[in-house]
Each structure stands twice: as structure tokens, then as C-alpha cells.
């Protein structure tokens, strides 16, 4: 090997070192190189379309989110790891004892099937709402939302059932984004579950990220029931396609995919 060839090899190795380190870190954590942990490693159950101080009319489709790498797991079969199901607390504070199961009544509404939304049918008035995640035994996790104090200004005669249609959607920050950025998934009238639970009539999300500027692709399968991800790809334009994967058949053609495009301008 000539001195020039040796120097070229050293330069090439130095250029590859950061990429190799990133790949090794991603492999060790189980994440793709473009996936990053939730900022501040914070885990929350939250509302995606409601905030403190909002005024709404009912019936109203209320949508839920879940962060921190946690996933949804219906109560029909045991689950392990960072998993649980949503609860909507109505005019209730967080429980004082997280070692006691949550009750079943109009103030503690359970979504044990892995649902990501519900239809509110409240009468006009003021309400305080909060999300809380719990396990199969309905014992709370320390994963919850801040209280949202809302006002229902009117109750309309609409049929609540007419407001929901089976489907999935993507939520992204508006306009150009800097990495890392959050991608939220949503399922309407569908039940999210861990793949290893093998429950009929459930599914999980799969996100395909395709660079239109030659930066590569990512095929991300959220088999643990996750409903969001933080991404940090190189600057460029990306096409995102969200698929619904049936947990029994593996089919992805039953529910229409959701698509979006995002322009990443820097990290």
C-alpha cells in the first residue's frame, strides 16, 4: 500500500466513524439511527386536540396521545414492559394511592380495548379532564396529563356515532421543521395493541420514511403499541406513510394509509 493510499484509507475511516457510532448506539437501544428518545425522557398521556381553557360544543371527538416510548395494550391479555390503557378522569384529581385499582364509573372512563379516542356528550357547563394510563389490573402508572379545564358551550343534536369513521392519521409540526421533531399517530374506531398479545381485531402502526433527496429510507414498525415517535433525519425532504398492521394477519391493506411530507431544514 502506498503512503497516499494509506492516508486515503485513514480519512475514509475517520469520516465513517460518526456514522458507525450512531449505528452502534441505535442497535444497542433498539432504535433506528433516525429515531431519538423523547426529549427530557418524559412520559405523558395527553390530549392531542384539547387544551386547558378550550371552549367546545358536544358531541366532540376527544383524541388521546401517549409519549415516552410507552405503548397501548388492551386488558384482554397480559402485557409487559411500558404498556397500558387510557383512562379519562372527569372532574377528578389524580388518585392518592397508585396501588389501588381505578373504579368504574362516569368519572373514571376506561378504554381497555386500546382505543385512542372517545366522543364527549357532556351537557353545557365547565369540566376538568385528565388522562391517566393504567395496567391490566387498572393500577395507575405514573403516566398522566395535566388537567384541562374546559367549557361546553352547547350540546348539539348530532348522533355521536356519526362522528367516527375507522381510519388512521398522521400529525406533524406545521411548516419546515428542525430535527428532532415529533410524529404522532392516530387511530379512529380501531384498537391498538402490542403484537405479542396476538389479539383479534387489533393492530399496530408502521411508519415508512422515504427521502426524496437521497438521504436514505427508514421502515419503522411499532409492535409495542407506540403511538408517536421523535425523528432526527438529515436535512432534506421526506415522504411519510403510516400503515395500519393487523396483529393477527399482518395485512396492511384493510385501512387506507395516511401520508404526509415534511421538510427538515437542520438539526
CB 186, CB 169: distance < 8 Å = yes
CA angle 182/120/53 to nearest 5° reads 60
Structural domain contains residue 159: yes
Q: What is the DSSP letter of 226?
A: B
Burial label for 6, CB within 10 Å (0-12, 13-18, 19+), is exposed
Structural domain contains residue 224: yes
Residues 112 and 183 in one domain: no
DSSP-derived pairing of the beta strands 125-134 and 258-266: unpaired
37-57 burial code (b ≥16 CB/10 A, e <16): ebeeeebbbbbbebeeeeebe
Q: Does the pLDDT of residue 10 top 80, yes or no?
A: no
Q: Which triple of cell numbers denotes residue 8?
A: 486515503
Q: At 41, is the secondary structure helix, strand, or coil?
A: helix
Residues 109 and 196 in one domain: no
Closest CA to 147 of 88, 106, 102: 88
pLDDT tens readout for residues 187-241: 999 999 999 999 999 999 999 999 998 889 999 999 999 999 999 999 999 999 9
CA distance 19 to 91: 50
Number of domains in the chain: 2
pLDDT tens readout for residues 12-27: 344 333 333 333 334 3
Residues 57 and 121 in one domain: yes
Residues 260 and 213 in one domain: yes
- Quote the strand ranges of the chain, DSSP E: 35-36, 45-47, 55-58, 60-66, 71-72, 83-90, 108-111, 117-120, 125-134, 140-144, 148-155, 167-171, 177-178, 181-188, 203-211, 217-222, 228-231, 236-246, 258-266
Q: At 11, is the secondary structure helix, strand, or coil?
A: helix
Query: Rounded mean pLDDT of the chain?
Result: 90
Structural domain contains residue 204: yes
**What is the mean pLDDT of the segment spanning 38-43?**
84
Residues 115 and 83 in one domain: yes
Boundary (domain end) residue, out of 129, 163, 197: 163
Q: Which triple of cell numbers denotes residue 197?
A: 398479545
pLDDT tens readout for residues 148-193: 999 999 999 999 999 999 999 999 999 999 999 999 999 999 999 9
Torsion sign (Cα): 141, 143, 149, 153: negative
CA distances (Å), 267 to each of 176, 219, 240, in order? 12, 21, 18
Supply the CATH number for residue 48's domain. 2.60.40.10
Structural domain contains residue 232: yes
Residues 46 and 157 in one domain: yes
Amino acid at each position: 500500500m502506498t503512503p497516499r493510499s494509506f492516508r486515503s484509507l485513514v480519512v475514509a475511516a475517520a469520516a465513517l466513524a460518526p456514522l458507525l457510532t450512531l449505528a452502534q448506539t441505535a442497535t444497542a437501544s433498539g432504535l433506528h439511527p433516525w429515531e431519538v428518545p423523547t426529549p427530557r425522557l418524559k412520559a405523558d398521556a395527553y390530549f392531542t386536540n384539547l387544551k386547558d381553557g378550550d371552549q367546545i360544543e358536544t358531541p366532540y371527538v376527544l383524541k388521546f396521545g401517549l409519549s415516552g416510548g410507552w405503548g397501548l395494550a388492551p386488558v384482554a391479555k397480559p402485557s409487559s414492559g411500558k404498556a397500558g390503557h387510557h383512562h379519562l378522569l372527569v372532574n377528578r384529581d389524580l388518585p392518592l394511592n397508585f396501588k389501588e385499582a381505578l373504579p368504574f364509573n362516569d368519572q373514571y372512563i376506561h378504554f381497555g380495548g386500546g382505543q385512542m379516542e372517545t366522543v364527549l356528550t357532556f351537557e353545557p357547563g365547565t369540566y376538568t379532564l385528565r388522562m391517566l394510563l393504567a395496567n391490566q389490573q387498572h393500577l395507575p402508572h405514573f403516566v398522566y396529563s395535566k388537567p384541562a379545564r374546559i367549557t361546553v358551550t352547547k350540546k348539539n343534536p348530532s348522533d355521536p356515532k356519526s362522528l367516527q369513521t375507522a381510519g388512521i392519521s398522521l400529525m406533524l409540526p406545521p411548516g419546515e421543521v428542525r430535527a428532532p421533531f415529533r410524529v404522532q399517530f392516530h387511530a379512529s374506531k380501531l384498537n391498538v395493541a402490542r403484537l405479542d398479545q396476538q389479539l383479534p381485531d387489533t393492530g399496530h402502526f408502521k411508519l415508512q420514511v422515504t427521502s426524496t433527496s437521497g438521504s436514505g429510507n427508514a421502515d419503522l414498525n411499532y409492535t409495542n403499541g407506540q403511538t408517536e415517535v421523535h425523528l432526527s433525519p438529515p436535512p432534506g425532504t421526506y415522504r411519510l406513510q403510516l400503515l395500519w398492521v393487523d396483529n393477527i394477519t399482518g395485512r396492511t391493506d384493510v385501512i387506507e394509509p395516511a401520508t404526509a411530507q415534511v421538510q427538515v431544514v437542520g438539526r
